[in-house]
A and B are shown apart, each in its own frame.
Chain A
Amino acid sequence: EDQVTQSPEALRLQEGESSSLNCSYTVSGLRGLFWYRQDPGKGPEFLFTLYSAGEEKEKERLKATLTKKESFLHITAPKPEDSATYLCAVQAGGSGGGADGLTFGKGTHLIIQP
């Protein structure tokens, strides 16, 4: 069964304090790894797709990287508006979330204090 584990569950940072969120995964044939941001009471907002180990994507203060077992979301000099829950998801070739459905982790709740 496909599994996604995110750590830490919660993270509180000062504005400008860089850090990284971890997403460890176990899947049968990774077809894609996805990062989403979710604000309270809203649907997930797409951030990045990573397809193969060694791939990196960047957007503003965020950078996502991928290895064969995990992905990191690096946040550089965060601002209070970066506060949200960050979700990691995988699309696998086997069972679990279905052939096309995503399997999500529980997310990392990030708080950036001014």
Chain B
Amino acid sequence: DTGVSQDPRHKITKRGQNVTFRCDPISEHNRLYWYRQTLGQGPEFLTYFQNEAQLEKSRLLSDRFSAERPKGSFSTLEIQRTEQGDSAMYLCASRKSGPRDREQFFGPGTRLTVL
């Protein structure tokens, strides 16, 4: 059983560039989540999908951020016109959708540095 995988693991970009991250969830998990974590803080929820439907967006998800999960399997998170404040670890998580299967399993994260 492979866990949640994310690609790339590290990304360095210049301010104003667009970046895209990919997340592959655990295969039988139909819910997929994106979080952002900055140094010394806990992860902050950004958005989540059930299958291909994006069901919730945080106020943190500005218009420059867009997430997709076109076939209900992997997901992508794109940040347009990156800013230095976007520098963070972007975490993906997945879980089953049952009422007693609420634990989310996280991937290793993508570390974004905006210069």
- The residues of A with any CB-CB pair to B shorter than 8 Å are 4, 31-32, 34, 36, 41-46, 49, 51, 87, 89, 91, 97-107
Provide the residues of chain A in CB contact with B102, threshold 8 Å: 31-32, 34, 49, 91
- CA gap between A34 and B45 in the complex, in Å: 15
Closest to A32 in B: B102
- Given known contacts A31-B102, A98-B56, what 7 new A-B pairs fall within 8 Å (CB)? A41-B111, A46-B106, A97-B45, A101-B46, A101-B47, A101-B48, A104-B43
Provide the residues of chain B in CB contact with A89, threshold 8 Å: 42-43
Interface residues on chain B, number (Cβ under 8 Å): 29
A-B residue pair count with CB separations less than 8 angstroms: 71
B41 at the interface (CB under 8 A from A): yes
Closest to A43 in B: B106
B22 at the interface (CB under 8 A from A): no
Provide the residues of chain B in CB contact with A36, threshold 8 Å: 106
- CA gap between A4 and B55 in the complex, in Å: 23
- Contacting pair A104 B42 (CB below 8 A): yes
Given A97-B45, A104-B42, A106-B41: A34 and B103 interface contact (C-beta under 8 Å): yes
Provide the residues of chain B in CB contact with A51, threshold 8 Å: 100
